[in-house]
Amino acid sequence: MRRVIFYLANFHLRFKKIVFRFGSYAQNSSFAEYVHLDPFVSLYNCNLGGYTYVSRSTTIVNGRVGRYTSIGPECKIGLGRHPLQLLGTSPLFYNRKNKFNFSLRNVDFDELPLIDIGNDVWVGARVLVMSGCKIGDGAVIAAGSVVTKDVEPYSIVGGVPAKFIKKRFSDEEIDKLINLGWWTMNHLNLNDVLENVVDNVFDSKST
């Protein structure tokens, strides 16, 4: 893994099979090999797995993203939370490090809990994902959705707020895929076993 403390790409850069396009920005983030960032992507405190791409003008804050995951353009992933149980929702009531440089009190509140996005996830364009959500392996988030709670593996969700639409496969097939964990393989090994995976998981039937 390559650790990026601060980086602003003013040009198309390639190193260790990681591609940063023009205007991509990463702070305190790490990347596996074969990661692609389109122009004007912003990452803060993130970990991206191999074979994952992030499309133009997407921002991810405090996120962990798995392998073989596809993130569409203009997504906002990691929107900070505000407490609902205090007298006020302003950061003045719970965070000393706010825009005003003073606070009324400081309470124990996690404003930006980790977002965990699994492997083989497809996040459509202009999706909003609230901080603290977990998106399971193989899930699909429809374009324009607002994700406010966890998404089960291999579920398709959409809407505002995002709601369950259907599963990609049967429960039996999903269990087989999760147990197989094909995303742990690199592209060379995966290519060799693709036909065998399809036969074993889907019993050679069309999906």
The confidence score (pLDDT) of residue 15 equals 55
- Distance, in Å, from the CA atom of 32 to the CA atom of 47, rounded to the nearest integer, reads 8
The CATH 2.160.10.10 domain(s) of the chain lie at: 2-168
Smallest CA-to-CA distance from 58 within 99, 24, 28 is with 24
Provide φ and ψ at 141, rounded to 5°: -110, 115
- At the topology level, CATH places domain 2-168 in UDP N-Acetylglucosamine Acyltransferase; domain 1 (2.160.10)
> Is position 82 annotated as part of the catalytic site?
yes
pTM for this predicted structure: 0.86
Profile the chain (207 residues) by mean pLDDT over runs of 10 residues: 44 63 90 93 95 97 97 95 86 81 80 95 98 97 98 98 97 92 88 71 57
Active-site choice (12, 36, 82, 187): 82
- Distance, in Å, from the CA atom of 75 to the CA atom of 55, rounded to the nearest integer, reads 8
Where b means 16+ CB within 10 Å and e means fewer, 159-172 reads eeebeeeebbeeee
Smallest CA-to-CA distance from 120 within 41, 201, 23, 57 is with 201
Residue length of the chain: 207
The confidence score (pLDDT) of residue 19 equals 86
